Structure 1
Amino acid sequence: MQSVLTFAYVADLYMSEVVPTKSAATQKDNKRELKNLLDFFNDPPAPLEDIEPQHVRQYLRERGKTAPVRANREKALLSTIWNFARECGYTSLANPCAGVKGHKETGRDVYVEDDMFAAVYAKSDQPLQDALDLFYLTAQRIADTLKMDERDIKDGKLAVAQGKTGAKRRIEIIGELKVVIDRIAARKAGYKVRSTRLVVMEDGHR
């Protein structure tokens, strides 16, 4: 162990021991988030036990000038790394992120991690899973996803008219998206009530 334990040291341990157990997308996010944290807390190298709530507040203020939502995510990673350091016995000090308010976010700013998405998906019924799959694979808004219709499929492409912007998109139906749409069609074929919408309830109604 280093004679002076720095944030960078425990962050590196966290990245090598914990992050590899996360999803690929979360690993990518954490690496990007840590880079920004190190730009602040490792220039010059900050001893772990010198980091106080005021420094977290300062980080949020500076980083928030250009990326307030990402600043919140980076603060969350800092907090997680600190808790990891406590569990491993590298510090006994309270988490400096505790009580430090992040930037205000609107609903559209909330970033859903892969593990959170998977947890919701696992608890969902089939219609909601259909909607989540279409939402994830087409990258359209939820409202536009729910309006997707069989009649919008032509020549192997799904036409989408975005409700908010009015923009029109033609999304090629290949790969996982084709698997999902074929699955939906097979399920709907057994319903007595017939709707052309892709996302329907288990009784066939919209």
Structure 2
Amino acid sequence: MTTNGVGSVLSVGFRSIPDMSDSAAALACSAGEITVLYNREISCMVYAAQVADVRATAFAVRHGSGLLQVALPVERCDALQLPEAVPTERDPRLSAYGQCLGVDAADGVGTGISAKDRAHTARVLADPETRPGDLTRPGHVIVVRVDERAPFASVTVGSRAMRLVSSAGCTPAAVFTELVDPNEPTRMADGRAALNFAREHDLHAVELSGVTANISCR
């Protein structure tokens, strides 16, 4: 993974930690690198779907929950005929908010579950030329609809991830998955574990600004 520099010191209530700027993390995402988004309670790994590759996807699957999601603008989801799997009546701060059926790329994949296949599907989802028939349903990559006009849109993990990758000029399509605590693999990583993980693997880390403590990437 790419070597990162250290930005200003940020306090999130449990200790002071070095934090990367959004711009540095966005540039890393645009180069296909993984960035850790975190707050006090939870954390996710994020990278740009447009440049998703086997290396980043295998790393995310190995160290994450295994549930790989791609955040897309709601307008793009409509164009791809990807409605919500269940009408959203849940807390919009949950990343399950706006989840669609899983999809696979119609061509260029095997079973759809491998890191290679899921990376390919992510790139297909990010491609503005993709049409509904270029995807099969159900599949192994979960699409999350992001409606920036909706109330509380800015607090969702999908929205934050999508904004991060698009700020570097990438297509607004972000792969994300929740990080598992390396020291307690039956639990998801909180902010402290996420920062330790980012340091160990030399990853950029950015705080999930404004996200409430009960948000979930599941």
Give me the TM-score of the superposition, normalised by structure 2.
0.19
**Which of the pair is proportionally richer in strand?**
2
**Which of the pair is proportionally richer in helix?**
1
| Larger relative contact order, structure 1 or 2 (CA cutoff 8 Å, min sep 6) | 2
Greater gyration radius: 1
Give me the TM-score of the superposition, normalised by structure 1.
0.20
